[in-house]
Amino acid sequence: MEQSELYGLGGGCSALAWSTRDGKHLWGRNYDFDRLAEGSQVTFLPHGRDYFTLVAAEKENTDPKVRCTARYASVGMGLLLRPTPVLYEGLNERGLMGGQLYYRTFAHYPDQCREGTQPIQPPFLVYHLLSQCATVEEVVRCLEKEATLVSIPMLGTVPPLHWSFQDGTGESIVVEPDRDGLHIYRNTLGVMTNSPGYPWHRQNLLNYAGVRDLDYDGLELGGVHLEQCFSGSGAQGLPGDWSSPSRFVRLAFLKQYAVPGANEAEGVSRMLHLLQSAAFPLGMVRVSHQSPVTELDTKVEPYDYTVYTSISCAQSRRFYWTTYENQRVRYLALDALLERREPIQIPLGQAEDFCCMTPAE
């Protein structure tokens, strides 16, 4: 079977790296899909715990050669699977942040592990890097010298993934497993969506060279002066659909022109607005194919939608999130949990949450 056939998973997702005016570095993402695996919650994982980078056939008895011990604690959205947890995204106690997005039809992993490296199933990569690396530089070294992503199914499938990471210095990278090898792009624009690959998205921005933040003045046409009567004309031509190329373009220009927050709280608040501009409203993205359904998928919608949005801060080591149903911003402070030795899971809180401000009589 061709890997492109095996990798039939769909889904959207957008990632963004941004900074505040006082030097806080933020990394956030929209999780756009038609489901969220049963048991997915905000998950704290302590340092010092053993885990495995490869779990063949989902067996508990795993080869000790792929056993690791977490150097750093981490927190993010994920599953507390045994013997190895899965994080879709998150941050660690050293301020490294990042996550996985779908890379449909493009993702390609070798069948064999490079000699002298550790095999890693793609869904375990986020947790492995957060548990072992403190910086982007260490992530790059691990991927180039120490690890090999391998095409071994987990829960019956090998998901097509690519990754984005950022550390406390502000550098963001994109990691993409293509047919010609694993590509690591340094000092990126800080934007990632889905297929095609990062170089294509970057080049595609030239098609929107006229987009700007300044309104255009009135128009002289055939001796007639048409006075400008609405605002926002500087961004005419900016795509508004939910395709991966359009979301990449929107987020790239929003990052360029949007006013960053003065501090972390303001930065997170403003960044949520940027991510909302790329979010999927429920009902607007009806899936044309059914992705493989695993034993953990108990509620599958006919639509891709923004199930949740998360933002991490490298300096405060806080993990913020909202859900489609509940826009109240909640957060978990990683530093306050570092003395704990057992994992913790916190529900996303997907029930609607309204605050009544009607004065009492």
Active site residues: 13
CA 2 to chain centre: 26
Q: How far is CA 100 from CA 95, 268, 274, in A?
A: 17, 20, 19
Residue the block writes with tokens 């829960």? 155
What single-letter amino acid sits at 30? N
Element at 98 (helix H, strand E): strand 97-102
Distance from C-alpha of 171 to C-alpha of 24, rounded to nearest angstrom: 12
Residue 51, sorted as left (phi over 0), alpha (psi -120 to 50) or beta, turns out to be: beta
State both tokens at 96: 């490294």
Distance from C-alpha of 307 to C-alpha of 225, rounded to nearest angstrom: 47
CA 83 to chain centre: 24
* Residue-wise burial string across 150-186, b where 16 or more C-beta atoms lie within 10 A, e elsewhere: bbbebbebbbbbbbbbbbbebbbbbbbbeeeebebbe
**Is there a contact between 251 and 191 (Cβ–Cβ < 8 Å)?**
yes
Q: 3-state class of 177 per DSSP?
A: strand
Residue the block writes with tokens 């548990």? 131
| CA atoms lying within 13 Å on the CB side of residue 106 | 19
Give the residue among 29, 49, 17, 37 at the shortest CA–CA distance from 78. 37
Distance from C-alpha of 147 to C-alpha of 116, rounded to nearest angstrom: 8
DSSP bridge pairs for 225: 220
DSSP bridge pairs for 118: 147
